[in-house]
Structure 1
Amino acid sequence: MKKLQASGKTIEEAVRNGLSRLGVEENRVKVTVLEQPSKGLFGLIGAKEARVELELLPDGVEEAALFLREVADAMGLSVSVEREDDADSIRLNVKGSDLGLLIGRRGQTLDSLQYLVNIVANRHSDRHLRIVLDAEQFRERRRRTLEALSEKMAVRVIRTRKEIVLEPMTSQERKIIHARLQGHPEIRTYSQGDEPNRRIVIAPK
């Protein structure tokens, strides 16, 4: 945990000086007053400045990014992590070369890492954080693949009038297919089975 001491003519000034050195806002630190200011004799002799200690509190997203870099390093990968704040989540984009190992087959390794990253982030946060982990724009590419698959399977179901059961998918991926075929005049979708083998069924209405 990073700590530093700062001084100033008043407690407020000492805190501001410390925050400036740390480069953070006041909500990121715990402040302990070490010494109150005093004017001294005749307001001059023996005057003492206020002295405070600032302890930098952990940030959930920063801790998650650090964890991610450590995991990548253990896998022999050199990566950087960029943060994007969305309306209801925080996206951590992993940049680097040879990220296929980090993504895994159909994103399975990426999904597992996302689960762990969320645990780390929320352990160091006083509010619930929802982190989406991405690498090489895999999430967007996977979304387009699943949407194309759902439309192709819908055409087959309409032609054969027989339902199709897709491979097991994560809840995130199932939502993409449900959303794509929602409101289709001839098709309905539902999920069956238990995690992690829960599957989408595309059936005629």
Structure 2
Amino acid sequence: MSFIEKTGKTVDEAVEAALKELNVLKEQVNIEVVEESSKKFFGLFGKQMAKVRVSLIEQMREAADKLDEFADQLEQEPVLETSDSDNVDKVSQEQAVEMAKDFLQNIFKNMQLEVLMEKLVAADGVVTFNLHGKDLGILIGKHGQTLDSLQYITNLIANKNSNQRVRIVIDVENYRSRRVETLTTLAKRLASKVRRTGERVVLEPMNPHERKVIHLALQEDRRIVTNSEGEEPYRYVVIELKK
């Protein structure tokens, strides 16, 4: 998608919505005002919303395309399934994590991004690389799709020859926790609408992790039930009243 269009009560509100969806800064995009907000018929029949068309500047789009192309190439590479008789040197978990770190640093270098990598190790052994720096919205992508792809590939790299399973989480400026808060707030707001109107609400397609956030946010609501419907990668959550 070369651009997105958003509406709002004002141009600034529409632009802010577009920037939030793209996970980028205002300096990283081109903004075209499609429609200014205005009152209709002397204000008697509502107000016309402002509409903007927002696209990534060429340099950002080329970098994003390069990352997606590189991700596709890696995903197509077969992951070797080895046995004890295979002449493949296994590496320790620590070495596997270092391999993942080197892989990420190489990605950032090719994208000409200056990234500070903060390594966190949880009690259950999960390793999180929280990335800090400027203009890192490109690593997140729409609703975290690019970030999820990068995390998936990094785990493939780390576990290819590891002697034990390693789980690595990639995050950007604590985006994942902020995304959980956003989804939780959205779920409760939509559940309130369902209780008020009695009509079911269908959310946009989400990955399994984000669907789980919606389900967990509303699992204690006695009047609401949530279900996942559709087929991957377009599976979505439906919120409706319990029958």
Q: Fold conserved (TM > 0.5)? A: yes
Other-structure match for 1:81: 117
Q: Give yes or no for contact 1:69–1:80 (8 Å, CA) kept in 2.
A: no
Other-structure match for 1:191: 228
SS for the counterpart of 2:129 is strand
Report how far residue 57 of structure 1 moved: 4.6
Report how far residue 123 of structure 1 moved: 1.0
From 165, 172, 176, give the equivalent of 1:135.
172
**2:116 pairs with 1:68:** no
From 203, 206, 229, give the equivalent of 1:166.
203
SS for the counterpart of 1:84 is strand
Distance 1:124 1:69 in 2: 20
Q: 1:87 to 1:174 in 2, by over 3 A?
A: farther
Percentage of pairs with the same residue:
46
Structure 1 or 2, whichever has the larger Rg, is 1
What is the aligned-residue RMSD (CA, Å)? 1.7
Q: Give yes or no for contact 2:180–2:210 (8 Å, CA) kept in 1.
A: yes
Distance 1:171 1:85 in 2: 24
**2:215 pairs with 1:178:** yes
**2:154 pairs with 1:117:** yes
Report how far residue 121 of structure 1 moved: 1.1
Distance 2:90 2:213 in 1: 40
One-letter amino acid of the structure 2 residue matched with residue 72 of structure 1: F
Q: Which runs of 5+ in 1 are unaligned?
A: 1-54
Report how far residue 124 of structure 1 moved: 3.4
- Please identify runs of 4+ aligned residues in structure 1 that moved more than 6 A: none
- How many residue pairs align between the two structures? 151
One-letter amino acid of the structure 1 residue matched with residue 175 of structure 2: F
Distance 1:197 1:151 in 2: 22
Q: Give yes or no for contact 2:183–2:213 (8 Å, CA) kept in 1.
A: yes
SS for the counterpart of 1:172 is helix
**2:151 pairs with 1:151:** no
TM-score by length of 2: 0.59
One-letter amino acid of the structure 1 residue matched with residue 234 of structure 2: N
